[in-house]
C-alpha cells in the first residue's frame, strides 16, 4: 500500500511538472505562429554592408614578416575600405566560442586596434533608423542578448522606440547582432520553449533530458495506477446513461426511500441529484473523508477510504460516497436527513466578540424555526464580488490587533463555505455563527467566506443549505464527556454542551478544555463561567498561549492541559471525547488520547477544514 501511495503521489507531481511545461509549449508555439518574423529577428532596421576594397591600390606586406607567432588562420579583411590581416591564433569549432586573435595593418604590418569612432561608424553603417547611437562600450560575457557568446563584444546602445542594441566583434568590428525588444521577446519565448532556464543557449541540456525521463516515468506510474484500479475493481468504463434505483435508509429518521440516479454518477452525486446531501467539504475530491455511507454489498476499498476510515468501519461496510458509482450499490444507509432545504437567511445582529471573531445572527426569512442536532453546520453560498481585506466596523478596543493589516478590496469568484451553529435548536429562534475573519497574509486577499459574512449588515440576506448533522452527542445521559477546542472551534462544542445541560438535563460529567491566545480571544468567557456555576457537573477550563501577567488560569496549549487531566480524572472506558479546532491541534490531541488507551469509537471530531 505504501508503494502504491508513493506511485500515485509521484504521478500527481509529475503530472503537474509535465502539464505546466505543456502549457508553456502551447503558449510559445502560438506565439511563434503569430509573431512578426522580421521584427523578431532584430534586423528590422539593420543594413548589411560590405567593405571590400581595391587590391590594386595597395602594396601588402608579406604575412611572414609580421609576427613570429604561428597563426592557426589568417584572413585579409576590409574595414572602412582599408585592408587588414586578421590573425587567429586559437579558436573553437564555432564562431561564438572563445577565440584569441589580432589585427595587423596589411600595408605597414603594425598591430591595429579599432578606435571608438571607427566602431561607431561601423555601427551607424549597419543601422537605418532615426535613433541616436551612444558611445561604444566594450562588454564582457555573459550577454543576455547573446547567451552563447564567449568573447568580448562592443556594445552600442541606440536611443530609439524599440531599444535597439548593436553588438560588434571586439577585434574586427564586424556587426554580430542587432537586438531590440521584439528580438528579446522572441529570445524569451525560445528559452521557455526549449526549457533553457539555465541559459545554455541551446536545447541540448540536462533539464530537457530530465523532462524526457519525467514524461516516461509519468507514463509508467499512470499505467501502474490503472492496473491497480482495475485489480481493485474501481476501473469500470461505462458509456450508459441508464438510471439505477437504490434503496436508501435514513438512520436519523428510520425511514427508507428509493432513489434513482444515473448509474455512472458517484454515490455523492447521485444522492445530491435527489436533494439528499452527504457531508462534504472537498467537493467529492476524496480528501475530507466526510461523505460516509454504509453499504449492504461488499465494495472495494480505495486509498482515500483507508486514509479516512478506521479498520472497524471498513469491515462493517462503511465507504465514501465520492469513491464509488451509483451502479455499484443496491441499498445503503446514510446518516443525514431527507431533502435538505435551501434557506434565505436574514441578518438580525452582528458584532465582534473577540478581536478576530464576529458573532453573526440570522433568522429564516420565511419565519420558520429549524430543528437540528447541536453541533450541526450550514453551507453558505457566497456570491462573486468584492470583499474588504479587513473589517470596517472594528470596535476601538480591538483596533490594536489590526494595526498591521492594511485596508483595501479584493475580488473573488462565487464559493461555498461551511460554518457551525453556536446554538442548539430550542435555545432561540435565531441561527448564531462565529465567523473568524481570515486575515490577509499577502496584503492582496483575505478569507472569502469570512470577509463576506463578516461584512453583512443587519437586514441583508444570504442563501444557505442545511443544517447538516454529523457531529453531535450520543443520547446516553450517564456517559462522561470531555470537549476540547480552540479558537472558533468552540462553536459546535458550545452548542452540544448547552443542549446537554439545558435541553436534555444531562447528569453526566461534562468538561470543556478551551484554548485561545489572549484574554480578549476567549469566546463566551462569562457565559461559560456562569454555566459552570449553575451546573455542578460542568467544568470550564480555559487556557491561554499568550496570557497577560494578570491571568491566573492555565497557560499553554490545550494539549498540555489535557495530559495531567487524563492521568488524574478520566475513567477511560466510559468517557467520550469531542474535538474541534485547527487540524494540527486535533491530530495531536487525538494521539494523546489514543496513547492512553481510548478506543477510536469514543473520539468524535468536527473537521475544522470546513
Angle at Cα 265 formed by Cα 262 and Cα 267, nearest 5°?
A: 105
Q: Which residues of the chain have pLDDT under 50?
A: 609-610
Query: In the CATH scheme, what is the code of domain 342-468?
Result: 2.40.30.10
How many Cβ atoms are within 10 Å of 526's Cβ, its own excluded?
8
In this structure, the dihedral spanned by the alpha carbons of residues 184, 185, 189 and 194, taken in order and rounded to 10 degrees, is 0
Q: Are 369 and 491 in contact (CB under 8 A)?
A: no
User: What's the Cα-to-Cα distance from 587 to each of 510, 559, 583, 606, rounded to whole Å?
Assistant: 22, 10, 6, 12
pLDDT in tens, 424-443: 988 989 999 999 998 877 66
Residue 452 — φ and ψ, nearest 5°?
-75, -55
Counting DSSP H helices and E strands in the chain, the numbers are 13, 28
String of DSSP letters for 235-280: --------EEEEEEEETTTTEEEEEEEETTSBHHHHHHTTT-----
Q: Which is it for strands 510-516 and 480-486: parallel, antiparallel or unpaired?
A: parallel
Strands 175-179 and 153-159: unpaired
Backbone angles phi, psi at 431, to 5 degrees: -110, 115
Fold of 247-323: Ubiquitin-like (UB roll) (3.10.20)
3-state secondary structure 78-101: EECCEEEEEEEEECCCCCCCCCEE
Cβ proximity of 293 and 267 under 8 Å: yes
CATH number of this structure's domain 481-606:
3.40.50.80
Measure the CA angle with vertex 423, ends 588 and 541; round to 5°: 45
Quick check: bond before 64 cis, omega within 30? no
User: What pLDDT is recorded for position 153?
Assistant: 95
Three-state SS across 359-427?
EEEEEECCCCCCCCCCCCEEEEEECCEEEECCCCCCCHHHHHHHCCCCCCEEEECCEEEEEEECCCCCC
Phi, psi of 400 (to 5 degrees): -60, -25
- Ramachandran area for residue 66 (φ above 0: left; ψ -120 to 50: alpha; else beta): alpha
The dihedral sign for the CA sequence 23, 29, 31, 34:
negative
* Residue 317 to residue 296: CA distance in whole angstroms: 7
What one-character-per-residue DSSP string does 444-479 give? S---HHHHHHTTPPTT-EEEEEEEE-SS---S-TTS
| pLDDT for 482 | 92
pTM over 0.75: no
3-state secondary structure at position 542: strand
Residue tagged 451546573 (cell numbers)? 535
pLDDT score for 609: 46
Burial class (CB in 10 A: 0-12, 13-18, 19+), 125: middle
- Count the Cβ atoms, other than its own, within 10 Å of residue 451: 25
Residues in the chain: 610
| Radius of gyration, alpha carbons of the chain | 37
- State the Cα–Cα distance between residues 477 and 500, nearest whole angstrom: 8
**The C-alpha cell that represents 31 in the structure block:** 506565439
Domain spans of the chain, in order of start: 3-38+205-231, 55-179, 247-323, 342-468, 481-606
Chain Cα centroid distance, residue 359? 29
Strand order in the sheet with 243-250: 255-262, 243-250, 331-334, 292-295, 318-320
- Closest residue by Cα to residue 67 from 98, 53, 95, 88: 88
Dihedral (CA of 407, 413, 418, 423) sign = positive
Give the pLDDT confidence of 310-351 residue by residue, as tens digits.
Answer: 888 899 999 999 989 888 888 889 887 666 678 999 999 999
Q: How far apart are CA 581 and CA 601, in angstroms?
A: 19
Element (H, E) at 13: helix 2-34
Residues 102, 98: Cα–Cα separation, whole Å: 14
Instruction: Find out whether 370 and 364 touch, Cβ atoms under 8 Å.
Output: yes
CA atoms 379, 384, 385, 386: torsion sign: positive
Nearest to 95 by CA among 198, 171, 193: 171
Q: Would you say 53 and 83 are in contact if contact means Cβ atoms under 8 Å apart?
A: yes
Residue 366: all three cell numbers together:
420565511
221-227 long-range contacts, Cβ below 8 Å, gap at least 24? Answer: 221/7, 221/8, 221/10, 221/11, 221/14, 222/11, 224/7, 224/11, 225/7, 225/8, 225/11
For residue 241, the model assigns a pLDDT of: 61
Q: What is the pLDDT of residue 229?
A: 66
- What local confidence, expressed as pLDDT, does residue 396 receive? 87
Amino acid at each position: 500500500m505504501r508503494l502504491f501511495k508513493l506511485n500515485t503521489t509521484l504521478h500527481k507531481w509529475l503530472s503537474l511538472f509535465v502539464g505546466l511545461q505543456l502549457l508553456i509549449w502551447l503558449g510559445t508555439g502560438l506565439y511563434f505562429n503569430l509573431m512578426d518574423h522580421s521584427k523578431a529577428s532584430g534586423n528590422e532596421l539593420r543594413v548589411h554592408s560590405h567593405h571590400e576594397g581595391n587590391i590594386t591600390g595597395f602594396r601588402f606586406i608579406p604575412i611572414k614578416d609580421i609576427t613570429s607567432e604561428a597563426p592557426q588562420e589568417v584572413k585579409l579583411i576590409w574595414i572602412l575600405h582599408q585592408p587588414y590581416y586578421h590573425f587567429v591564433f586559437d579558436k573553437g569549432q564555432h564562431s561564438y566560442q572563445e577565440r584569441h586573435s589580432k589585427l595587423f595593418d596589411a600595408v605597414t604590418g603594425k598591430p591595429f586596434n579599432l578606435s571608438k569612432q571607427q566602431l561607431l561608424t561601423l555601427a551607424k553603417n549597419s543601422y537605418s533608423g532615426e535613433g541616436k547611437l551612444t558611445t561604444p562600450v566594450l562588454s564582457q560575457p555573459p550577454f543576455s542578448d547573446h547567451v552563447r557568446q564567449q568573447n568580448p563584444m562592443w556594445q552600442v546602445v541606440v536611443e530609439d522606440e524599440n531599444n535597439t542594441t548593436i553588438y560588434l566583434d571586439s577585434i574586427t568590428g564586424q556587426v554580430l547582432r542587432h537586438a531590440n525588444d521584439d528580438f528579446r521577446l522572441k529570445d524569451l519565448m525560445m528559452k521557455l520553449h526549449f526549457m533553457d532556464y539555465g541559459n545554455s543557449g541551446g536545447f541540448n541540456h540536462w533539464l530537457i533530458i530530465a523532462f524526457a525521463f519525467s514524461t516516461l516515468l509519468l507514463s509508467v506510474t499512470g499505467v501502474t495506477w490503472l492496473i491497480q484500479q482495475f485489480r481493485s475493481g474501481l476501473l469500470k468504463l461505462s458509456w450508459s446513461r441508464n438510471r439505477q434505483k437504490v434503496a436508501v435508509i435514513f438512520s436519523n429518521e428510520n425511514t427508507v426511500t428509493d432513489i434513482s440516479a444515473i448509474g455512472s454518477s458517484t454515490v455523492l452525486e447521485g444522492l445530491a441529484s435527489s436533494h439528499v446531501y452527504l457531508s462534504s467539504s472537498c467537493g467529492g475530491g476524496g480528501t475530507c473523508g466526510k461523505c460516509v455511507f454504509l453499504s449492504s454489498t461488499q465494495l472495494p476499498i480505495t486509498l482515500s477510504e483507508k486514509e479516512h476510515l478506521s479498520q472497524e468501519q471498513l469491515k462493517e461496510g462503511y465507504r465514501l460516497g465520492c469513491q464509488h458509482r451509483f451502479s455499484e450499490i443496491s441499498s445503503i444507509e446514510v446518516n443525514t436527513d431527507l431533502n435538505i432545504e435551501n434557506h434565505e437567511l436574514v441578518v438580525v445582529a452582528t458584532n465582534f466578540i473577540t478581536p478576530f471573531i464576529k458573532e453573526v445572527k440570522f433568522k429564516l426569512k420565511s419565519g420558520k424555526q429549524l430543528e437540528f442536532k447541536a453541533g450541526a453546520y450550514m453551507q453558505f453560498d457566497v456570491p462573486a464580488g468584492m470583499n474588504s481585506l479587513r473589517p470596517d466596523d472594528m470596535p476601538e478596543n480591538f483596533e490594536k490587533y489590526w494595526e498591521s493589516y492594511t485596508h483595501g478590496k479584493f475580488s473573488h469568484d462565487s464559493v461555498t463555505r461551511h460554518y457551525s451553529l453556536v446554538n442548539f435548536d430550542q435555545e432561540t429562534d435565531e441561527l448564531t455563527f462565529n465567523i473568524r475573519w481570515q486575515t490577509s497574509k499577502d496584503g492582496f486577499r483575505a478569507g472569502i467566506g469570512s470577509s463576506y459574512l463578516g461584512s453583512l449588515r443587519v437586514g441583508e440576506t444570504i442563501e444557505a443549505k442545511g443544517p447538516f448533522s454529523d457531529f453531535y452527542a450520543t443520547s446516553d445521559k450517564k456517559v462522561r464527556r470531555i470537549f476540547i477546542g480552540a479558537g472558533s472551534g468552540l462553536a459546535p462544542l458550545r452548542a452540544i454542551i448547552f443542549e446537554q445541560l439545558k435541553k436534555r438535563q444531562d447528569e453526566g460529567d461534562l468538561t470543556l478544555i478551551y484554548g485561545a491566545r489572549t484574554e480578549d480571544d476567549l469566546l463566551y468567557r462569562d457565559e461559560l463561567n456562569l454555566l459552570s456555576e449553575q451546573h455542578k457537573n460542568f467544568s470550564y477550563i480555559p487556557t491561554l498561549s499568550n496570557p497577560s501577567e494578570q491571568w491566573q488560569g492555565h497557560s499553554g496549549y490545550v494539549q498540555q492541559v489535557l495530559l495531567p487531566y487524563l492521568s488524574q480524572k478520566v475513567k477511560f472506558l466510559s468517557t467520550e471525547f469531542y474535538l474541534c479546532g485547527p487540524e494540527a491541534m486535533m491530530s495531536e490531541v487525538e494521539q494523546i488520547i489514543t496513547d492512553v488507551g481510548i478506543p477510536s469509537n469514543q473520539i468524535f471530531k468536527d473537521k475544522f477544514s470546513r
